[in-house]
Amino acid sequence: MNSPVWHPFTQHGLEPSMKRIVQTDGACLIEEDGSRILDAISSWWVITHGHRHPVIMKAIQAACENYDQIIFAEYTHEPAEDLARGLIEIAPAGLAHVFYSDSGSTCVEVALKMALGFFHNSGTPRRRICVMENGYHGDTIGTMSAGERGVFNQAYEPLLFGVDRLPFPAPGREQETLDAFELFCATGQVAALLIEPLILGAGGMRTYPASVLTELKRIAERHGALMIADEVMTGWGRAGSLFACEQAGVTPDILCTSKGLTGGALPLAATLCTAEIFDAHLSTDRRRTFFHSSSYTANPIACAAAVANLAVWNKEPVRERIGALERMQWERLQRFEDDPRFVNVRQVGTITALDLEVSTGGYLSEVGPRLRAFFRDRKLLIRPLGNVIYLMPPYCVAAAELDRAYDAIDEAAACFAAGRL
């Protein structure tokens, strides 16, 4: 059936027709014929507790009785106020203010503007942003500028600004990353380091130790630079702790969160910052205003969903579920630890990843679409990043469901080795 819909990250000249989903339930998507698809990547990393968690769904229904969108300049509302207080309470100590937006990309864009605005309003303008190579922070102009350059943004190069890139802290080369950051900071021009804590998501699920993050924060503090933690993917338990920064014992100056903020039910994002950054914009001079907004800032229904998500974290054994999922993932990953068909078998919290050994890797590796089709035929939603296969399931996933996913990974590797994939 022809459709006027243009889907994201989709080459319509190559992809098969889209599967129509009619319902979601727990760890599964349900097709028109009733087939249950295991959502092994949490629908692009957003679903945490499981699809249609009853507490969150009930909160959305209740909010619809009283609210639709409300302008968030001049006015506020209870869901946004309750959520902001709740976020400050559970976030790393020292974060004091919450700015709402709509998505992971926009909350990182907000963070970049906050950092530059902080130094501009302080009378000591700094204009350089440091990032880690292979990073991904979104698809707006600012976040594309901060992300890895390549085929994804080549057409938009005239719009992008330059950033200073740190080498990825590969095993045994961590000091090179720290030394590079020290050199950039020594110029006195670095406003902020923007970084994905512990694991780079779309950049290939590359992992690095918490000690590197700890030392990067120390270097930033010595030189008066800010640290922006992009916790859009890693937040809400994905890395094991509520926020990945906790494992490094650091409080970023700015923290970005989205995806799991509402449990994945509705789009919403928040950028948290210290009082010092807020105060740099606080003035009787209107020119010092933080000039950023979107029409749907702090949507009350989305905020109500996020408040309900906080309640789930406070009242249900979410951390125990995460711990159990970490163990289940680890146990099943061990079968590939010494498997020559794979390299770099790894885990951070509830996320596991392994690279299929191919002649040409990377995101555009030809094996990627073939792997997706293979998993799709087995009723599994697994979208490898080229030859990088990863699992990031909802916390409600059952052991038998994980078994099915890992068995399929094993089968896919066997088919590839035999030339049948």
For residues 259 and 382, state if they share a domain: no
Q: Are 170 and 209 in contact (CB under 8 A)?
A: no
> Do 370 and 238 lie in a common domain?
no
Residues 73 and 115 in one domain: yes
Question: What are 195-225's pLDDT values in tens digits?
Answer: 999 999 999 999 999 999 999 999 999 999 9
Ramachandran category for residue 188: left, alpha or beta (phi over 0 → left; psi -120 to 50 → alpha)? left
**298-318 burial string, b = 16+ CB within 10 Å, else e?**
bbbbbbbbbbbbbebbeeeeb
Residue 200 sits in the same domain as residue 76: yes
C-alpha closest to that of 36 among 374, 375, 379, 377: 379
Judge if 272 and 395 occupy the same domain.
no
pTM score > 0.85 for this model? yes
Same domain, 301 and 349: no
| Number of domains the chain is built from | 2
Structure tokens at 325: 């999922």
- Same domain membership, residue 94 and residue 207: yes
Do 363 and 289 fall within a single domain? Answer: no
Q: Please name the residue that has the structure tokens 């702790």.
A: 241
Please list the residues that pair with 389 across neighbouring strands.
354
pLDDT per residue as tens digits for the range 139-178: 999 999 999 999 889 999 999 999 999 999 999 999 999 9
Q: Within this chain, do residues 333 and 286 fall inside the same structural domain, yes or no?
A: no
In a domain, 268, yes or no: yes
Q: Within this chain, do residues 220 and 252 fall inside the same structural domain, yes or no?
A: yes
CATH number of the domain enclosing 244: 3.40.640.10
Residue range(s) defining the domain that contains residue 174: 56-315
Residues 261 and 153 in one domain: yes
Residue 295, CA distances (Å) to 66, 177, 197 in order: 19, 39, 30
15 within domain boundaries: no
Tens of pLDDT, residue by residue over 373-419, are 999 999 999 999 999 999 999 999 999 999 999 999 999 999 999 99
Q: Among 282, 315, 348, identify where a domain stops.
A: 315
Whether residue 232 sits in one domain with residue 195: yes
- The CA dihedral of 210, 212, 217, 222, to the nearest 10 degrees, is 150
Note whether residue 157 is domain-resident: yes
| Domain containing residue 370: CATH number | 3.90.1150.10
DSSP per residue, 296-314: TTT-HHHHHHHHHHHHHHH
DSSP code per residue over 154-200:
GGGGGGPPP-EEEPP--TT-HHHHHHHHHHHHHTT-EEEEEE-SSEE
For the stretch 44-58, pLDDT in tens is: 999 999 999 999 999
